Structure 1
Amino acid sequence: MSHDILLCDLDAFFASVEQRDHPEYRGRPVIVGGRPDERGVVATCSYEARKYGIRSAMPMNRAVKLCPNAVFLPVDMARYRRVSAQVFAVYVRFAAQIEPVSIDEAYLAVPSGKGMATARKIRETVRRELNLPVSIGVSVNKLLAKMACEMAKPDGLKQIKPEDVPAVIWPLPVRKLYGVGPHTEERLRQIGVRTIGQLAMFPENELVRVFGSFGATLHQYANGIDSREIEPVRKVKSVGEEITFPRDVYDKEAILKTLLELAEQVGCRLRKKGLKGRTVMVKIRYSDFSAITRSRTLPDFVDGDGTIYRVARELFLANCGRPPWRLVGIQVSNLDDGACEQLSLFTEPDRDGQLCKLVDELREKYGKDVIKKAALLNFSSF
């Protein structure tokens, strides 16, 4: 059975929730992210703020300079997750197949020919029941639905049919094509490709010569072809946490204490999801904004804070370079849900993970501060 594909994207989601819940913010530039007087980045901003050139991932101090009179708000992720769940509950009424992309974005598959009518009903329902704007792109595949959604923003609806590709898609700059980042755009420019139409007409074998197998994908995308299926359940590929310090940090011991906190957070999230991982990665960013990542793959799957911290600590100490440091982060990947994990006769029980699960239970019952790692008892915030 063929389907129409919808991409539903909540417009400026965090900022829209804040404007909905605080009428005094409506019509004003709203910026959600780090504190304006500290280091951090913009998580999202309202369309009123975007008129000043503010964008997601922009350093907060830059956003303050561009729009000093904006409303600056911290990220309230717990509230945004609750609202997201309410929106996705609306989607379920209209589509049996839903692929979440992020907290504010999802692909939906509906019967062929029903795409536009369903999209209109979804937008009306989300606006009426939750008072939030959602832009929706409609097409026959994910690629064109995504591009239609981008064209529909903000708070709009657009359909792109396969026969529309030459007139609607081909005149666009090649950077507008899904999968084309700055590096790919530059390499395409070097071979004379500046528009999506030029990419569609470029010999596929030449693209494969330049980009490898990705060249064939680029050629298909430029012609509006995308064979990716809707994946109703997206498999978690990694769990990570990172922190940007309010000012440069020169103290190595302070960084190690931060890594211990991050390891606890990552371990807790893994255990809540019933996951374990084998690969631990550390991210380090310096004061000049340069960054490195280093990882190590372990012989066994782990979810214990102690093991995660031990590996992260060793990776940091071996690769930290010279201070100061601006950001550190930990990520655990190469995940497994434990269903197929086998214990070797020569493997010690995962006492670290077992102890951490007990600590999780105590914190859940009595509060997160009931137990602290000894190294954190005297740790003052930066």
Structure 2
Amino acid sequence: MSHDILLCDLDAFFASVEQRDHPEYRGRSVIVGGRPDERGVVATCSYEARKYGIRSAMPMSRAVKLCPNAVFLPVDMARYRRVSAQVFAVYARFAAQIEPVSIDEAYLAVPSGRGMATARKIREAVRRELNLPVSIGVSVNKLLAKMACELAKPDSLKQIKPEDVPAVVWPLPVRKLHGVGPHTEERLHQIGVRTIGQLAAFLESELVRIFGSFGATLHQYANGIDTREIEQVRKIKSVGEETTFPRDVYDREAVLRTLLELAEQVGYRLRRKKLKGRTVTVKIRFSDFSTITRSRTLLNSVDEDGAIYKAARELFLDNCGRPPWRLVGIQVSNLEDGSYEQLSLFAERKKEKQLCFIIDELREKYGKDVIKKAALLNFSSF
């Protein structure tokens, strides 16, 4: 059976949640992200703030200069995840096939011909039940649904039918096409291609010569063709956390305490997702912005904080070079189902695993700061 594809995107999600929960913020510029006096970046901002040129991933220091009277708020990811789950529960009432893209974005498949009617119902339900704005794009494939959603923003609906492509899509600049980043845009400009229509009319064989197999994909996308299916279960390839220090750090022990905290966060996420991993990777960024990653594949897969930290600690000490350090991160990959344990391994790690689950339960009930490893108790900001 053919389907209509919907792309549902919560508008300025983090900022919208803050404005919803704090009436005094409504109508004001709200910027959510890192601390303005440190090296944080903007996670998202309200549409009021965007009028001043604020955008995601912008350094907070720059955002403060552009909009000094804005409301600056830290990221409350636990709360945003709870609200996201409520929104996705609404989506599930209207569509059996859902592909989550991120915390605030998802593709839905509904019976052909019912896309716009379903989109209206979803938008009304999200606004009525959760008081949040959502923009929805509707089309016959994911590419056009995404482009329709971008044109619908903020807080509206837009449908692009295949026959609309020449009038609606082709006049747009090539950077608006999925898969076209700054480098690809520059290459296209060099060959005289500035609009999606010009790309659609360009000889496909010549695009393949210039861009390789991606050239064929570009040509298809420019003509509104996209054969990607809805992926109801997106396979997780890795779980990671990293932190950028407010100031360059010279104390090796302070970095190790940060790695311990990151290991706890990664372990918690693995256990929540019932996953274990065999490969632990440490990311290290130095004060000159040079960055290295070093990995170690373990004999057995792990999800315990201690095992993750042990591997990360050894990798850091073996590769940390000379201080100062600017950023560290931990990633666990080579994942597998963590629902089952080999009995012999379970016996060896039983105490630590039980402790991890107890701590997980306490944090879920009372917040992530209710309990910390002893090494973190006297750990203040750098």
Q: TM-score, normalised by structure 1?
A: 0.91
Distance 1:78 1:29 in 2: 22
1:358 pairs with 2:354: yes
Give the aligned partner of residue 32 of structure 1.
32
Q: Specify the code of the residue in structure 1 equivalent to 2:144.
A: L
1:108 pairs with 2:108: yes
Deviation at 1:170, TM superposition (A): 1.6
Distance 2:137 2:150 in 1: 7
Tell me whether 372-381 or 154-163 shows the greater mean CA deviation: 372-381
Distance 1:260 1:37 in 2: 25
Distance 2:214 2:375 in 1: 47
Give the aligned partner of residue 124 of structure 2.
124
How big is each residue's C-alpha offset from its partner over 1:89-137, in whole Å with a ceiling of 9 and x where there is no partner? 2111211111111111111111111111111111112112211110000
Give the aligned partner of residue 337 of structure 2.
337
How big is each residue's C-alpha offset from its partner over 1:182-224, in whole Å with a ceiling of 9 and x where there is no partner? 1222232333322222222223233233333222222211111
1:301 pairs with 2:301: yes
Q: Specify the code of the residue in structure 1 equivalent to 2:190.
A: Q
Q: Specify the code of the residue in structure 2 equivalent to 1:68.
A: P
Give the aligned partner of residue 272 of structure 1.
272
Give the aligned partner of residue 203 of structure 1.
203
1:166 pairs with 2:166: yes
Instruction: Name the SS for the 2:335 alignment partner.
Output: strand
Deviation at 1:271, TM superposition (A): 1.8
Deviation at 1:352, TM superposition (A): 7.2
Alignment of 1:1-382 (within 5 A): 1-338=1-338, 349=345, 354-364=350-360, 373=373, 375-382=375-382
Given the superposition, is the C-alpha separation of residues 280 and 192 from structure 1 closer, same or farther in structure 2, using an over 3 Å criterion?
A: farther
Distance 1:123 1:366 in 2: 36
Is contact 1:279-1:298 (8 Å) kept? yes
Q: Specify the code of the residue in structure 2 equivalent to 1:67.
A: C
- Paired-residue identity, %: 85
Structure 2, unpaired ranges of 5+: none
Deviation at 1:350, TM superposition (A): 6.0
Deviation at 1:33, TM superposition (A): 1.2
Q: Specify the code of the residue in structure 2 equivalent to 1:349.
A: L
CA RMSD of aligned residues (A): 2.4
Given the superposition, is the C-alpha separation of residues 320 and 71 from structure 1 closer, same or farther in structure 2, using an over 3 Å criterion?
A: same
How big is each residue's C-alpha offset from its partner over 1:252-295, in whole Å with a ceiling of 9 and x where there is no partner? 22112211221122112212221011222222233344534333
Distance 2:199 2:299 in 1: 44
Instruction: Name the SS for the 1:317 alignment partner.
Output: helix
Distance 1:353 1:54 in 2: 48
Instruction: Name the SS for the 1:221 alignment partner.
Output: helix
Tell me whether 56-65 or 186-195 shows the greater mean CA deviation: 186-195
Is contact 1:5-1:110 (8 Å) kept? yes
Is contact 1:173-1:195 (8 Å) kept? yes
Is contact 2:242-2:328 (8 Å) kept? yes
Distance 1:280 1:165 in 2: 46
Is contact 1:271-1:357 (8 Å) kept? no
Distance 2:92 2:369 in 1: 38
Distance 1:209 1:339 in 2: 47
Deviation at 1:323, TM superposition (A): 2.9
Tell me whether 201-210 or 103-112 shows the greater mean CA deviation: 201-210
Given the superposition, is the C-alpha separation of residues 237 and 154 from structure 1 closer, same or farther in structure 2, using an over 3 Å criterion?
A: same
How big is each residue's C-alpha offset from its partner over 1:131-154, in whole Å with a ceiling of 9 and x where there is no partner? 111000000000110011011111
Distance 2:165 2:342 in 1: 51
Is contact 2:98-2:107 (8 Å) kept? yes
Structure 1, unpaired ranges of 5+: none
Instruction: Name the SS for the 1:349 alignment partner.
Output: helix
Deviation at 1:377, TM superposition (A): 4.8
Is contact 1:304-1:352 (8 Å) kept? no
Q: Specify the code of the residue in structure 2 equivalent to 1:30.
A: V
Q: Specify the code of the residue in structure 1 equivalent to 2:129.
A: E
Given the superposition, is the C-alpha separation of residues 295 and 191 from structure 1 closer, same or farther in structure 2, using an over 3 Å criterion?
A: farther
Distance 2:248 2:131 in 1: 41
Given the superposition, is the C-alpha separation of residues 371 and 83 from structure 1 closer, same or farther in structure 2, using an over 3 Å criterion?
A: closer
Deviation at 1:29, TM superposition (A): 0.1
